[in-house]
Each structure stands twice: as structure tokens, then as C-alpha cells.
Amino acid sequence: MSIQTTAPTSNRSQFSVKTLLRLAWRYAWRRPFQSLFFILGVAIGVAMIVAIDLANGSAERAFALGTETITGRATHQIVGGPSGLDEQIYTRLRRELGYRQSAPVVENYVIATTLDAQPMRLLGIDPFADQPFRSYLGEGDAAAGASATFLSDLMVRPNTVLLSQDVATRYHLQTGDQFPVRIGSRTANLEIVGLLAPSDDLSRRALQGLLITDISTAQEVLQQLHKLDRIDLIVSNDAAGRAALAKIATILPPGVRIEESAARSGAVNEMTAAFSLNLTALSLLALVVGMFLIYNTVTFSVVQRRPVLGSLRALGMTRREVYVLILAEAGLLGVIGTALGLALGVILGRGAVQLVTQTINDLFFVVSVREIDIPVFTLV
Amino acid sequence: MTLQTTAQVANHQEPTLERPAATQPSKPVLIRLEHLSKTYAEAGQARAVLDELNREFYTGEFVCLLGKSGSGKSTLLNLISGIDAPSSGDVTIYDGAQAVTITALSEHERTIFRRNHIGIVFQFFNLIPTLTVLENVTLPLELAGKHQQMRRHAVELLERVGLADRINTYPDKLSGGEQQRVAIARALAHDPLLVLADEPTGNLDDETGETVLKLLLELTRDAGKTLFMATHAPDVAEQADRVLHLVHGQLVNDQLSTAQG
């Protein structure tokens, strides 16, 4: 007779995953409240993370989109102090230096009182000088291209604007309609002389919070006569470009400087970075609370079931199988909780984006978010 | 004859042992205890619950283990089943041509051995509350990987314990006696080498206890299984082939019943 001190080879673990999953599922099913708390713990944690991430992301993307629309292809900007620039600088730039790759801009936020009182950016431009900078007035884009008729209307008739086709459709407006805007305590009536409908989605969304007008109209409406907010420049990134910048710098009065466009938007991003970080930290706190709930629920379920787990061990379930059983249970409920949390997060995100936007508008700069982006990365 | 340790087995090719000379020629030895001791530390002092036990038990035998509460009955069952490990000594279980020294196996290997070869009936039934009666009985078969005709076999066993009409019921809807009958079916489901019963009637009234005991004996005898029962009910001993008393860590009053064949 042979004697052995190891288990016979046929005694390998043959316990099926199906049985394990059934044990896990049955426990979850027969303890509905416990399972519900577990699922809620996961769902709340995930929902908070997703909601805050979506709100942050949407606000940032809306801002980036807005900046991109306004900055266009400008590489540099001439900017002054809080009172802006004298428009003579632009005149000297074009006449004395003959620098054609420049476009004046006057801009500020106005409240479109009849359009849900939303803040809209009134962008005053020179339609001819502006064409190399911003594509929505470009002739090459048939859908977006503003016709010669409304461009001339824009320059000749006072208080006229171009509006996004989407906004016009949403508020049942058409060419020729007038609507009031509030600038501080004053009110002005603006007339729509053309609708912009870019073919690509990005430009369409970028134009949603924008009122484009001639620079003289913007100066009158915003009461910035003979003043500009900035002058956009396109400067090549070579020796000739650097020489041009140096030449431009010679005509600038004290307090007026040249900045790179990217640096300018970067500075604004830095302003909101701390705010975004706070929100992210708070959402992580929610996740920590969720994890604490999960930890407690799992611990409770294990402690409560010690006699059952003991019976399973006595019947021949290995430590590893018991461990996998508990993990399978947690995984099963975790997947349900995560799915629920993602859906809840998207719903919460829609509410949170309004709050985040409001705070950014109040504390930092004006940003208008009409919809939330749901990037796959956030959900993953 | 002496059993070899793991190291000794590793140093020899095909180590062989003769089956121990049984005191009962007609019954082959199933369990062999050798110098088996179990000591617990209590308030910094060692207390020997089992002290140098040396015994042999035979295939098909009904062994009744009597003793007061705390005398070490459950400890001995835990050592035989491999749930616990001894402080010293060996437990060898003979499975046909193979002898397995389970005290030399790892915890994982003992668990695998137990799931395949040992059935256990507990005092408090210990059914899995989230599984139905049928699933409780099929669980040892699933654990042992015996999936073929698993359901049919379990239903047959439940018919024998009189619960064929309750297969989809959950344990909390059963009486204590019914739960223990399910536990008996579960203990026998995977065709174990031996059945260990720890106070199986301890949580039942006299009448139900008697019915359950009768059923347990009938099923184990019919299947030719060894039944090793710990109890402190002396009347159970009347039906046993052998009665052992566990006193001060020693097995005493080893009696061979006249009922044994």
C-alpha cells in the first residue's frame, strides 16, 4: 500500500465559477437592503466624481471654445491697461508700419435680456481686416460665409449684429428682428442683419454665445469711443516675425504691450485652476465617503456571515474560494453601482455645470455653457 | 508499523505500508490516530485537550464519542476532518489502496481532501440560508466537481429523508428536524469515506432527535459509510458499534458492541 502526504491529484479545485457567482448573487438578492446600501455607496461616489468632472470639463471646454473663437488665428495681441488702447495705435500700425496682418477688436459682455438673460460676448471687429483671423466671416466657407450684403449692412447701419443661426432658431428670431441688450445699467437695441451657420459643429457651438458687430457699433454700444480692447496680430515664427514684433514695439506707448495669444489664454486657465482643483478634491472626498460606505458594507457582510462562511469552509471551500466569493459579490454590486453612478453623474453634471458656470462668471470671467460634454474618458 | 513524515516520504521511492492489523478481521481500518495531541494556550498556560491518542477505526463502523462539554469531542472531529491541525501526532485515513496522512497536508490540501472524502453533520445544521434545499444538497457535489447527474442524485437523497416535496424551499422555512434531515442528505451527497456528526440531535427535541438519528444511521449503514458521532446523550450509545469516552484528554472505555457484525 502506498502512503502519501499530499492530496490525490484528482482533488484539484474543480469548483465552478458558476456556483461561486450563484452563491454571491443569491446573497445579494436575499439581503436587498444591505445590497442597496452597497450599490448606493458606489453610485454616490462615482456620480459625484463624474458630475464634477463633467461640470469642470464642460466649463473649461466652453471657455476654450470661446477663446478660440475670439482669438482665431492670432498669434499675438497688443493689449493695454483696463481702459484699453487708443485706436490711433492701430492707425499707426497700418499706415506707418504698413503691417496688414492686424485686426482691431472691441469686446465686452452684454446681457441679452429677452434671450433667457444669458451673457453674450459682443465682439466688435473690422470685417475686412478680420478675415485672415476668424473663419466664420471667410469667403471660402459657403455656409458660414457672411454675404457681402450683410457685411455692408453691418458697417453702414448702426446697432446691427450678426447672430448664430442656432440661437436665432432657439429664440425664434430672424434677420431684421431687434432685441435689447443690457450693458451695466444701460440698455441698447440691436438689430440682426445676418445669421451665421458654420458647417462644422465646433464653430457652430463656438458662435452660440457671440454677437458680432462692426467695431464702431461696439464702441458706441459699449461706450468705448476711440478705444480698442486689443489688436490681434499674425506674426510668423521666424527672424522676420521677430523683427516685425520689435518694430511694432517701437510705436507702442507706455503701458501697452505685446502678448502671445497662448500665454493670455493660459493665464486665464491658471486663474480657474485652483477652483477646478477644489472641486476635484471635493468630488474625491465624496468618493472617499463612498469607499468608506463600501468598506463598511463589505466588512458588515463578512462579519454577519462568519457562521455561513465557516460552514462553507467546513464543507470544503478553500480560503481562496471564500475570498473570491466575497470579491465576486463586491464586484457584482460594484458594477451595478458604477453603472448607476455614471447615469446619475451625467444627470447631476447637468445641474452642477450651471453652478460651476455661475461661480466662474461671478469670480473669474464670463463663460456661457449651453450643454455638457460627456467625454468617454470621464466615464471610463 | 509506523507512518512516515513528509521528509521521509520524499527520501524514499514508493514507500509502502501494510494495512494495520485490525482487531476486527472483517473490517478494514479507515482512520488511524497516532500520538495525537492538541494543546491550547490558556492564560499563558498550555492545556492539553487531547493527549497522545492512539486508535484505529474501521470501515462501516458507527463510533460514538461520549464526553462532557469541553472534553475535546469537537476538537477530535476537527482534527479528523482536517479543519484544525494537531499540536503533535498524525491522523491517517485509508482510502482503498491509498493512505493519506492528512495531518501532514497543507491547509489547502486538507480542505480539498475534506470536500471530497468527508461529510459533516453539525449540531446547528449549518445549512446555507441563501440556497434552496436542493442547492444545499448539490453544493458538496459541486465543490467536489461531481456535476454528472448531480440533481438526480440529490433528489434521490432528499426522497430518502422525506423532503422531496421541499426541494425549492429555503432553510428558514423548515423546522429544526427538517433542516437536520437536509444536512444529513448533504453530508452523504458526495459519497464520502466517512461521516462526522457533531451533536446532531443536540438542538432537537427527543422525538425529532430520535427520528433524525435513526435516519442518519440507516443512510450511513446502507451506504456502508463509517459514522463518527460526538454526543453527550448516552442513549445514542446503545445503537453504536463502539463507544468511546473522552476523559481528561484520553479515550477510555473502548467497547466493542455485540451489535457489530
State pLDDT tens for residues A80-109: 877 788 888 998 888 888 888 889 999 888
pLDDT digits (tens, 9 = 90+) for A269-324: 676 677 777 777 877 787 787 778 778 877 888 888 889 999 999 999 999 889 98
Task: Please give the mean pLDDT across all residues of chain A.
Answer: 79
Task: For the beta carbon of residue B210, count every other beta carbon within 10 angstroms.
Answer: 14
**What's the one-letter identity of residue B55?**
R
Q: How far is CA A266 from the centre of its chain?
A: 15
pLDDT digits (tens, 9 = 90+) for A117-137: 888 888 898 888 877 777 666
Give the H or E element holding residue B245: strand B242-247
All structural domains of chain B with their residue ranges: 61-85+111-255
The answer to whether B111 contacts A307, with C-beta atoms less than 8 Å apart, is no
Q: Residue B258 has what pLDDT?
A: 42
- For the record, the C-alpha cell of A146 comes out as 457672411
Are A81 and A255 in contact by the 8 Å Cβ rule? The answer is: yes
Q: How far is CA B252 from CA A128, A165, A217, B32, B244, in A?
A: 113, 100, 113, 16, 6
Q: Residue A365 has what pLDDT?
A: 58
All structural domains of chain A with their residue ranges: 15-63+269-379, 81-255
d(CA B158, CA B181): 8
In this complex, the residue of A1, A6, A316 whose CB is nearest that of residue B105 is: A6
d(CA A300, CA A35): 11
Task: For the beta carbon of residue B18, count every other beta carbon within 10 angstroms.
Answer: 7
Q: Residue A58 has what pLDDT?
A: 74
pLDDT at B132 over 70: yes
Q: Residue A8 has what pLDDT?
A: 46
Q: Where are the beta strands (DSSP E) in A184-318?
A: 186-196, 210-214, 227-228, 230-233, 257-260
Partners of residue A23 in chain B, C-beta under 8 Å: 128, 130-131
Q: Is A152 or A220 the better-scoring residue by pLDDT?
A: A220
CB–CB contacts below 8 A, A to B: 122
Q: Residue A101 has what pLDDT?
A: 86
Task: Please give the mean pLDDT across all residues of chain B.
Answer: 84
CATH code for the domain defined by B61-85+111-255: 3.40.50.300
SS3 category, A300: helix
pLDDT digits (tens, 9 = 90+) for B203-226: 888 888 888 889 999 999 988 899
Which of B98, B100, B147, B168 should be substituted to probe chain A, the one whose Cβ sees the most A Cβ atoms within 10 Å? Answer: B100
Q: How confident is the model at residue B10 (pLDDT cuts 50, 70, 90)?
A: very low
Q: Residue A340 has what pLDDT?
A: 92
Q: What part of B 126-145 touches A (C-beta under 8 Å)?
A: 126-131, 135, 139-140, 142-145
Least reliable range by pLDDT among A199-213, B36-50, B145-159, B233-247:
A199-213
The sign of the dihedral angle between the CA atoms of B130, B134, B139, B142 is negative
Partners of residue A5 in chain B, C-beta under 8 Å: 4-6, 9, 100-101, 104-105
